[in-house]
């Protein structure tokens, strides 16, 4: 018995497929390092440049505080309006995409495709598309946030719908209630806490996105940041970055406390 125990190998040799994946990953990683032209000299020079940037950025210049506040307000507008519409559109899409609420397989596949497309295309690409479609400004930002939110929220809503207990839905079905009434009476209330948490995460994500969307002309404080950086007004840029930091952290704290109350 003890002899048999001693012959048990400590490691099992990986399968050929595992070897191929490991070697492939290593090769891709090394090629990536080489392509980035990473060297100690460049990193040292980068650190020096960063120090110079910080030196020019400090102290932050808040003399244009009204312009910064106005742009931040527009960013929050873009985020909140975009997320509100995004979450509202996500609910019916999620109902059509979840296996326990979708009317049939074809509708489910189409709804899942729409959600996958919304999620797969990054928010910056959506912003570029909508800038072309509706022109520069906050409307393009709002539309981009709507698409980005649908990709995120509809997926999580539908996964939550699929996880709810079957019992309450069956109880309402047994009374003769219709499918939509069962969804609204049992599945949505059971998913409410999770949907609230997902929606709050969407707002946090949208505020961060709305900042970067301005870089491609979709309105908000990103436009101000982009202009300051291009004109080498790093002290202005530092003030903008600090305002964004405070706004994002502030909303994260608020959203965290709401989540704790709801869940």
Partner 1 sequence: MTPPDPVLDVRDLHVSYGDLRILRGVTFAVGRGEGVVLLGANGSGKSTLMRAINGLAPASSGRVALDGAQIIGARRPALRMARRRMGYVFQQFNLVPQLSAFQNVLFGVMGQRPLGILNCLNAVARAEDREHALSCLERVGLADRAGHRPTELSGGQQQRVAIARMLMQRPSMVVADEPIASLDPKAGREVLDLLWRIVDDEGLSMLCSLHQLDLAREYADRVIGLKAGKVQVNAATGSIDPAGLDGLYDGATRPEDATETKIAAV
Q: Work out which of 124, 134, 177, 258 binds partner 1, going by CB under 8 A.
A: 177
Task: Give the count of alpha carbons within 13 A of 247, CB side only.
Answer: 26
Residue 5 CB coordination number (10 Å): 7
Q: Work out which of 20, 26, 27, 171 binds partner 1, going by CB under 8 A.
A: 171
State which of positions 34-63 bind partner 1 (CB under 8 A): none
Which residues are within 8 A (CB) of 107 and not within 5 positions of it... i.e. 6 or more apart? 96
Query: Which range in 69-77, 152-160, 176-184, 251-259 contacts partner 1 by CB under 8 A?
Result: 176-184
Grouping H, G, I as helix, E, B as strand and the rest as coil, residue 10 is coil
The answer to whether the CB of 96 falls within 8 A of the CB of 157 is no
Q: Work out which of 16, 105, 174, 260 binds partner 1, going by CB under 8 A.
A: 174
Q: Work out which of 173, 196, 226, 227 binds partner 1, going by CB under 8 A.
A: 173
Distance (Å) of CA 147 to CA 90, 159, 179:
10, 18, 28
CA 185 to chain centre: 29
Q: Shortest distance, CB of residue 194 to partner 1, whole angstroms?
A: 11
User: Is 21 near partner 1 (CB under 8 A)?
Assistant: no
Nearer to partner 1 by Cβ, of 118 and 198: the residue is 198
Under rule CB under 8 A, how many of the chain's residues touch partner 1? Answer: 20
How many whole angstroms separate alpha carbon 148 and alpha carbon 69?
25
Q: Hunting for tokens 């969307």 — which residue is that?
A: 213
State which of positions 178-237 bind partner 1 (CB under 8 A): 178, 180-181, 184-186, 189-190, 192-193
Nearer to partner 1 by Cβ, of 172 and 228: the residue is 172
Residues that bind partner 1 (CB under 8 A): 167-168, 170-178, 180-181, 184-186, 189-190, 192-193
């Amino acid at each position: 018995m003890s002899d048999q125990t001693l012959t048990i190998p400590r490691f099992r040799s990986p399968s050929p497929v595992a070897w191929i994946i490991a070697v492939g990953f290593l090769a891709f990683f090394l090629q990536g390092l080489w392509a980035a032209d990473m060297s100690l000299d460049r990193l040292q020079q980068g650190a020096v440049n960063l120090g110079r940037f910080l030196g020019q950025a400090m102290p932050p210049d808040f003399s244009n505080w009204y312009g910064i506040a106005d742009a931040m307000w527009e960013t929050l507008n873009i985020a909140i309006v975009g997320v509100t519409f995004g979450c509202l559109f996500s609910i019916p899409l999620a109902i059509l995409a979840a296996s326990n609420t979708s009317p049939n397989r074809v509708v489910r596949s189409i709804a899942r495709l729409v959600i996958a497309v919304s999620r797969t295309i990054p928010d910056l690409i959506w912003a570029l598309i909508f800038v072309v479609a509706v022109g520069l400004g906050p409307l393009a930002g709002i539309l981009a946030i709507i698409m980005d939110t649908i990709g995120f929220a509809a997926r999580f809503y539908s996964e939550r719908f699929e996880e709810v207990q079957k019992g309450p839905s069956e109880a309402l079905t047994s009374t003769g209630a219709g499918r939509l009434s069962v969804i609204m009476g049992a599945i949505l209330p059971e998913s409410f806490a999770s949907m609230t948490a997902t929606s709050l995460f969407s707002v946090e994500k949208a505020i961060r996105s709305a900042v970067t969307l301005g870089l491609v002309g979709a309105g908000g404080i990103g436009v101000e940041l982009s202009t300051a950086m291009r004109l080498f007004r790093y002290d202005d840029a530092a003030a903008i970055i600090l305002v964004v930091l405070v706004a994002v952290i502030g909303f994260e704290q608020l959203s965290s406390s709401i989540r704790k109350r709801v869940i």
